Amino acid sequence: MGITAPSAPALPGARGPLSQALTALLLGAPDAPRAAELCPQGGPESAPGADPFGADPWGDDHQLALYLCYELHYRGFAGVDPRWEWDPQLLGLRRQLEDAFLASLRERLGPVPGLAEQLDALLVEPPTGTGPSYHLLEQGERWQAREYLAQRSLYHLKEADPQAWVIPRLHGDAQAALVAIEYDEYGGGRPERVHARLFAEMMADLGLDPGYGRYLDASPAPALAVVNLMSLFGLHRAHRGALVGQFAAVEITSSPGSERLASALERLGAGPAGVRFYQEHVEADAVHEQLVRHGVIEALLRDEPALEADIAFGLAASGLVDDLFAEHLLGSWRSGRSSLRVPLADAPGAEVAAGGVGAGVR
């Protein structure tokens, strides 16, 4: 049995029958007959779009189960045999979870606007905004900024890894441009400038635990869905166009949002390490915006024009999951409550968690 890397996080607590069965399974050795028990509706050949436990595709149980399946392709989990990554029955379960998520995603989106229309809209910064970066800049409190970073850490501590899956699935000019962007994300050859490391340093400056996966248990379904979408697109060659669309959505909108977040964190008492991550993204992503539009998308469409609808879908899907995450954050904060499943020590409701599952969350 293989030994999991020391940096692998612990398996999180279950959030329903599906994630409970899955976490129990992962603690054993890969065993196809036992894995089949996770597919009570008929295994991998169940109807497309059917969740194997009848769970809400946007709910905690479904999103956590999907996150667990995907994380086996990244750092894995402490005590989990690495061979689970390619277990056929587990991949069958993952396909069911993905089908249900994608079916619900397409239903929510409805007709997807054209690619050019979406790109033009992203390039226009509204005079007033309502997203988390605006809230944190204008009226946010320190505990809210810490909650935001805790949830965003699910992606940013592995920043650019989900998008790296698409590199061998592109070719020519599009591949070269995407690799140039990824090179910057990984610090341009300088370990101290790797974006994931800068994010970890920012977390530490704000009094958060920068350990990989530390806040998975506390993060709700909308935060998981943002990361799951990237992994879903990245891990499937069939969705390479959608992954490019998702990547474009991030790079085009990142620079102004990063500027607001850097100013917000500075206002809330962050030190130099607490603002360096977002300051880096103000300049870098202004360049990346040009590269992703002209170097990646235009080049990819010259080679594979049939991918235009997929790129448009990736853009729209990325916007939807980001909007749902923002709605969850702002709805919680405006109601005076924590947006986390387990509040941080300085957030409303932390007293209730003291002595229970939330004890010690800082």
Whether 230 and 177 share a structural domain = yes
Mean pLDDT of the chain: 90
Question: How many domains does the structure of the chain reveal?
Answer: 2
Q: pTM of the entire structure? A: 0.91
Does residue 11 lie in a domain region? no
Whether 127 and 95 share a structural domain = no
Does residue 78 lie in a domain region? yes
Whether 27 and 99 share a structural domain = yes
Spatial separation of the C-alpha atoms in residues 206 and 210, rounded to whole Å: 10
Does residue 315 lie in a domain region? yes
Spatial separation of the C-alpha atoms in residues 103 and 125, rounded to whole Å: 31
Does residue 31 lie in a domain region? yes
70, 91, 109 - which closes a domain: 109
109, 139, 161 - which closes a domain: 109
Whether 91 and 236 share a structural domain = no
Tokens of 349: 């409701």
Whether 151 and 206 share a structural domain = yes
For residue 241, what is the domain's CATH number?
1.20.910.10
Note the pLDDT of residue 178.
Answer: 95
Under a CB-based contact definition with an 8 Å cutoff, are residues 251 and 244 in contact?
no
Segment 304-314 mean pLDDT:
98
Under a CB-based contact definition with an 8 Å cutoff, are residues 75 and 212 in contact?
yes
Segment 310-321 mean pLDDT:
98
Find the DSSP H helices in the chain.
17-26, 32-35, 60-71, 88-109, 115-122, 132-138, 142-156, 161-164, 172-185, 195-205, 221-234, 240-267, 272-290, 299-303, 308-334, 350-353
Whether the per-residue pLDDT at 36 is higher than 50: the answer is: no
pLDDT, tens digit (0-9, with 9 covering 90-100), for 261-289: 999 999 999 999 999 999 998 877 677 78
More confident residue, 218 or 1: 218
Quickly count: other Cβ atoms within 10 Å of residue 249's Cβ: 21
Domain around 213: 115-349
pLDDT, tens digit (0-9, with 9 covering 90-100), for 189-228: 999 999 999 999 999 999 999 999 999 999 999 999 999 9
Note the pLDDT of residue 287.
Answer: 73
Whether 185 and 231 share a structural domain = yes
Whether 200 and 314 share a structural domain = yes
Using N-to-C axis directions, what is the helix angle for 60-71 and 17-26, rounded to 10°? 20
Does residue 280 lie in a domain region? yes
Does residue 87 lie in a domain region? yes
Note the pLDDT of residue 210.
Answer: 97
pLDDT, tens digit (0-9, with 9 covering 90-100), for 139-174: 999 999 999 999 999 999 999 999 999 999 999 999
* Confidence bin at 33 (pLDDT 50/70/90): low
Whether the per-residue pLDDT at 6 is higher than 60: the answer is: no
Does residue 12 lie in a domain region? no
pLDDT, tens digit (0-9, with 9 covering 90-100), for 46-92: 444 556 667 899 999 999 999 999 999 999 999 999 999 999 999 99
Does residue 10 lie in a domain region? no
Note the pLDDT of residue 2.
Answer: 42
Cα–Cα distance list, 268 to 178, 260, 274, 349 (Å)? 35, 12, 10, 21
Whether the per-residue pLDDT at 4 is higher than 80: the answer is: no
Whether the per-residue pLDDT at 351 is higher than 80: the answer is: no
Spatial separation of the C-alpha atoms in residues 78 and 319, rounded to whole Å: 33
Whether the per-residue pLDDT at 233 is higher than 60: the answer is: yes
Residues in the chain: 362
